[in-house]
């Protein structure tokens, strides 16, 4: 059985999230997703997520292509998570290209292209503008 692991915040779930998860799942038999904790999101992106880590986990684990989720507490623990979940493949978006090659002694590292023209930040900005009009 081939296990694939990937990571992200997945706040305000959108089609870019769904597509990378679907494509990740096609690289193996089981997809495990590390969902950034609320604290990690603040550290990484400088803002509180709209949806809590529990809500984001609930949404992601209920997608057909996802088998298991866990809360990612620290960016520094990628190697531990890969080992804990016995991952054979690590998938990251290509905005991170090359930056996870340090894990290539543990598993295959794959960078998948992001879906153009959509992001959580963009959706939040779009909704705020609607509210202001």
Vertex 69: Cα angle to 58 and 12 (nearest 5):
45
Nearest distance, CB of residue 19 and ligand CTP, angstroms: 6
Scanning 15-77, the segments in alpha helix (DSSP H) are 15-25, 38-45, 53-61
Residue 95 or 101 with smaller CB distance to ligand CTP: 95
Residue 60 or 88 with smaller CB distance to ligand CTP: 60
Nearest distance, CB of residue 133 and ligand CTP, angstroms: 22
Nearest distance, CB of residue 116 and ligand CTP, angstroms: 7
Q: CA neighbours within 13 Å on the CB side: how many for 44?
A: 16
Enumerate the β-bridge partners of residue 100. none
- Beta-carbon contacts of 116 under 8 Å, excluding residues fewer than 6 positions away, are none
Residue 38 or 119 with smaller CB distance to ligand CTP: 119
Nearest residue to ligand CTP, by Cβ distance, number only: 93
Binding residues for ligand CTP, rule: CB under 6 A, are 8-10, 16-17, 20, 45, 92-93, 95, 114-115, 118-121
Residue with tokens 């009009």: 133
Residue 106 or 124 with smaller CB distance to ligand CTP: 124
Nearest distance, CB of residue 114 and ligand CTP, angstroms: 3
Segment holding 91, helix H or strand E: strand 89-93
């Amino acid at each position: 059985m081939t296990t694939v692991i990937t990571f992200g915040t997945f706040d305000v779930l959108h089609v870019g999230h769904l597509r990378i998860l679907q494509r990740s799942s096609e690289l193996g038999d089981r997809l495990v997703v590390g969902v950034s904790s609320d604290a990690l999101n603040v550290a990484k992106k400088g803002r509180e997520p709209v949806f809590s880590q529990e809500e984001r986990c609930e949404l992601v684990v209920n997608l057909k292509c996802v088998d298991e989720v866990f809360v990612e507490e620290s960016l520094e623990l990628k190697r531990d998570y890969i080992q804990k979940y016995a991952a054979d493949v690590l998938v990251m978006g290509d905005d991170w290209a090359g930056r996870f090659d340090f894990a290539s002694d543990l598993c295959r590292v794959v960078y998948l292209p992001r879906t153009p023209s959509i992001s959580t930040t963009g959706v939040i900005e779009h909704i705020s503008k609607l509210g202001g009009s």
